Amino acid sequence: ALVSGRGHVFEFANRRCVKMVGHRRLLGRPVREALPELDGQEVLQVLDTVFATGQPLELFERPVRLTRGARADEERFFNLVYQPLLDHDGATESIAVVANDVTELVASREDVKRAAAERDTERRRLLAVLDQSPLGITIVEAPTGRLLFANSRAGEIYGRSRPSRDLHEYVAEWGGFDRNGRKLPVDEWPLAQAITRGERVESEGIWIEHAKGPSPIIRSRTWSSMAG
């Protein structure tokens, strides 16, 4: 659209602009008269600023309330460019306004944010439940072996409350042994087997080294883990 003078009278509006505002008559009318709902909104205040300063301005993803026909005000989001056109004396004569409706883009991004927030909430709820489990539970990222979670019971079993950062540290600090007392290397640890094989490992008895207590070695309960 092109608006002129201090009153911002519409000199030109293309079909897309007319459609954006609900097919109202624009040409020859001041913006405040043609689109009264813009009064007090940033989009109109910026027109005044650009006319007074003669400096172009850009706005990104700004909300604009528009009244279309008999419907109530509808909020849309726009990227806007205000380009002043100056006369020979350098005073603002008119302003070209380019508007790009990005409502769907903003809405889709907000949907993604909401979905991520919901997933985070569900994750925290799940971890809270797992932390109360009477079974020792750990969650490890595959295939990196990075330890993501160890519940309170796992810490009690091993006598350590701080989970290691990765599987190598996990095995080194939370040592495990086979039935003959041989220390298990990383690739023989049940959790590592589940990650590398991509299959379930269960009912594999191991001995574990406890950090505290009179007996340095205790028998582990059934171990069940799944890669992924």
What secondary structure does DSSP assign to 212-224, as a single string? SSS-SEEE-----
Bridge partner list, 44:
none
What is the pLDDT, as a whole number, of residue 185?
83
Which carries the bigger pLDDT value, residue 31 or residue 222? 31
> pLDDT tens digit string along 38-69?
999 999 999 999 999 999 999 999 999 999 86
> pLDDT tens digit string along 14-35?
999 999 999 999 999 999 999 9
- CA distances for 84 relative to 16, 48, 79, 140, angstroms: 21, 11, 17, 59
**What is the pTM for the complete model shown?**
0.59
Integer Cα distance of 192 and 197 in angstroms: 8
Which carries the bigger pLDDT value, residue 16 or residue 165? 16
What is the pLDDT, as a whole number, of residue 54?
95
